[in-house]
């Protein structure tokens, strides 16, 4: 089992500037980190290919 903190951010601006050949979009953004976070826990099931 792995538990980590996932820090939050706020997008002050977010502009889609184009579409890439792989289907994803190019973006330009201004962001600010904040002191909030989520706690994420991942538990691997028996037979998973990842070593833990």
Pairing between β-strand 25-42 and β-strand 2-19 as defined by DSSP bridges: antiparallel
Q: How does pLDDT run across 1-52, given as a tens digit for each residue?
A: 899 999 999 999 999 999 999 999 999 999 999 999 999 998 877 666 666 5
State residue 51's pLDDT score. 61
Beta bridge partners of 40: 4
Q: What is the rounded CA–CA span in Å between residue 36 and residue 52?
A: 28
Please give the pLDDT value at position 38. Answer: 96
Bridge partners for 33 per DSSP: 9
Per-residue pLDDT tens digits for 11-21: 999 999 999 99
């Amino acid at each position: 089992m792995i538990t980590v903190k996932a820090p939050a951010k706020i997008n002050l601006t977010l502009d889609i500037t184009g579409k890439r050949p792989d289907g994803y979009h190019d973006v330009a953004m201004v962001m600010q980190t904040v002191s909030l976070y989520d706690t994420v826990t991942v538990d691997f099931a028996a037979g998973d290919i990842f070593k833990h």
